[in-house]
Structure 1
């Protein structure tokens, strides 16, 4: 059955079922974000500073590099396994259990090498949860609500950031108590959708793969999907640099800024992005312009990065970061929703999203090399100018696909 015919057949039931699932699904995705945002932005750098001393920046780069390799492999592999087994829920729950267990095992590492080993295993388990979880949304949310789904996904980085502010409160003194609190938050967010939600599958979201003119099945994403991949990859290089080194950048500008203040500033940026992403996502659905909000938000992200490069005071730097953080959060949330629209094969959605997840992990491989080659000699200012240029290129790429109602090829 054609997807438009199916939508007209029972629009009220389709809309209600999708909305309930999207709310629980957005909470589960937020739980996945809680699993890594507070740890990688605040807790891990602080722990590395304790274990590595003066070599903390270099070791953080090595840990990020190794973790990104594990995440890249895990995202594709476990996404593909969830395709083959047709069991997203089971892989999500297994990944959740292992992720929480390894998170709680982090304090057992008393040196950098042990910490590295645990982080590699943790990244595999984390992507065992995140890969199938990403594909699950594509299985159950109609294309005409992908913009709204993207808007709801903006809650994920916000809740991830505020969980970072929570676990760094002064009452949670030790590394162990912070990790235990984080593990409880992750579980409470992921379990409702995976245990209690019983969404009904729509035939049009799981139709057989398309056959090309030569009689062969499309193997990999192409056309708009490739350009969407490139645009997100370029924006994610900038986001990854700030994600890993925001702690050290703010320390260089204002040495007296505490961990909790850093986490709160990040939280403000991603929280303000929520209503903006919701409005733009719903607007894109109604006007059938899925790519225009992506263009605008990436352009504003580039402007924010440029302002960060020119910042000459702590207050101006904070405002510039807020501009960058809000625009980038909006872009990434809406991009995640619209990516599900353009993937050609529903039976390999998990694998294809694992390939798209390389836009999250490959920048983490490039960023340490880029940062370590630029920052020691030229400072963060030159790095931010370079990253702003990459984001401008992403905006230009999106301009080539900003047309109405794109298909999947």
Structure 2
């Protein structure tokens, strides 16, 4: 990698903006090396490893401990409040990182603070003894880890030239799914003891992020280049004009709808298995671990194969379309599962779809970003497509689960989400600038 410290360019708003946008792209001579690739991949993996076990297993079991009589309603409350915090947090922190003039760089302060405070929040989650404390702990976890992600996500467009962007985006995008397998291993290792199951992934996150912060040669923003602060900055942190950036808008909508299907299964996986197949809190851990391992392995294998095929074909949209359609089919199969083995098959198919999606989606997003001078803000806007389903799915879940009035109707819940994911797959056809 080039040893010159990266520097930021001025924000748009004056003559010559087009040239400044082009200048923000790292030159071909700044190709990143194996050390940077390994470090950012490790940091991304560590971050998701700290979050995935809590999202899929340990949070639901903590709710079971604290409020066993109203666990579904309480989990929906905790998830909804946490997702609402995430909805606000990453966009604000991302926009602020674009304006950070610290001598440590633009992104590094937010990454470091998010990691340290995030692990402290996991400690509160592990020890919370009331519903109120659970809500506070998960909200704090979402706030702090989104601070971390607000600094981490813009690093690729900041540091990586176009020739390497697609490949490295696919690798880092894969880490969230690798964290599923890692989280499953740790859950099976520590459960039913929830405290280490929550805290050990946080420690791994601290180590991997710490290594990355040492390797990172962060962009620095000259204070003279930073425009005056205006309240409109906070409002603009949530908006990209779809008329000016239609491809970005369609890619955003596609991810929002496809992720709706993913959130449906991951957020309610534990309760679905307990309700459909009769598992208890004492016996559910190994089963969830098996499901997550199957899903994670399917994602990794599919991503490696299909990502290489996408590069060879120089096409992205057919893979995103296929992934959304197959994901919808996996949700329908999960809804109709009458045996654990049938559900395992649905999980594997869903993993293949997710692997196909992640192998090309990050590269597609990088190619449709509206501006290279407001990467933190724009990545925050795109992150809303991940966060909004986490807010809306728990909000509508009780209505869909109540259909029929005889216990939780997971079939109606999953099939509705399959239709949503299918529509999301079709939306990608409207993107014009990417094949």
Query: What TM-score range do you get, normalising by the shorter chain?
Result: 0.7 to 0.9
* Matched ranges for 1:89-108 at <5 A: 89-108=108-127
**Alpha-carbon deviation of 1:54?**
1.7
Paired position in structure 2 for 1:399: 429
* SS at 2:139 equivalent: helix
Paired position in structure 2 for 1:70: 85
1:265 lines up with 2:291 in the alignment:
yes
Pairs aligned (count): 386
Paired position in structure 2 for 1:207: none
Paired position in structure 1 for 2:268: 245
What per-residue deviation string (whole Å, max 9, x for no partner) do you get for residues 216-273 of structure 1? Answer: xx96462111000000000111111112101111112222352133123212212222
**Alpha-carbon deviation of 1:140?**
1.5
Query: 267-276 vs 341-350, which deviates more?
Result: 267-276
Task: Indicate if the aligned counterparts of 1:161 and 1:264 stay in contact, CA closer than 8 A.
Answer: no
Query: 153-162 vs 361-370, which deviates more?
Result: 153-162
**Alpha-carbon deviation of 1:286?**
4.2
* SS at 2:61 equivalent: helix
Question: More helix by proportion, 1 or 2?
Answer: 1
Task: Indicate if the aligned counterparts of 1:227 and 1:398 stay in contact, CA closer than 8 A.
Answer: yes
1:383 lines up with 2:413 in the alignment:
yes
Alignment TM-score, normalising by the size of structure 1? 0.86
Query: 242-251 vs 276-285, which deviates more?
Result: 276-285
Provide closer, same or farther for how the CA distance between residues 60 and 142 of structure 1 changes in structure 2, counting only shifts above 3 A.
same
**In 2, distance between residues paired with 1:4 and 1:71?**
31
Equivalent residue in structure 2 for 1:126, among 123, 145, 148: 145
**In 2, distance between residues paired with 1:37 and 1:235?**
18
**In 2, distance between residues paired with 1:376 and 1:47?**
23
Equivalent residue in structure 2 for 1:183, among 202, 220, 240: 202
Provide closer, same or farther for how the CA distance between residues 403 and 248 of structure 1 changes in structure 2, counting only shifts above 3 A.
same
1:28 lines up with 2:58 in the alignment:
no
Task: Indicate if the aligned counterparts of 2:36 and 2:215 stay in contact, CA closer than 8 A.
Answer: no
Query: 256-265 vs 369-378, which deviates more?
Result: 256-265
Q: 5+ residue gaps in structure 2?
A: 1-18, 221-238
1:295 lines up with 2:325 in the alignment:
no
* Matched ranges for 1:304-315 at <5 A: 304-315=330-341
* SS at 1:77 equivalent: helix
**In 2, distance between residues paired with 1:170 and 1:253?**
25
Equivalent residue in structure 1 for 2:361, among 335, 340, 348: 335
Paired position in structure 2 for 1:88: 107
Paired position in structure 2 for 1:109: 128
Task: Indicate if the aligned counterparts of 1:150 and 1:277 stay in contact, CA closer than 8 A.
Answer: no
Task: Indicate if the aligned counterparts of 2:367 and 2:434 stay in contact, CA closer than 8 A.
Answer: no
Task: Indicate if the aligned counterparts of 2:298 and 2:348 stay in contact, CA closer than 8 A.
Answer: no
Task: Indicate if the aligned counterparts of 2:188 and 2:286 stay in contact, CA closer than 8 A.
Answer: yes
Query: 312-321 vs 254-263, which deviates more?
Result: 254-263
**In 1, distance between residues paired with 2:303 and 2:21?**
26
Provide closer, same or farther for how the CA distance between residues 145 and 402 of structure 1 changes in structure 2, counting only shifts above 3 A.
farther
**In 1, distance between residues paired with 2:24 and 2:91?**
31
Alignment TM-score, normalising by the size of structure 2? 0.81
Paired position in structure 2 for 1:150: 169
* Matched ranges for 1:150-169 at <5 A: 150-169=169-188
Q: 5+ residue gaps in structure 1?
A: 202-217
1:53 lines up with 2:68 in the alignment:
yes
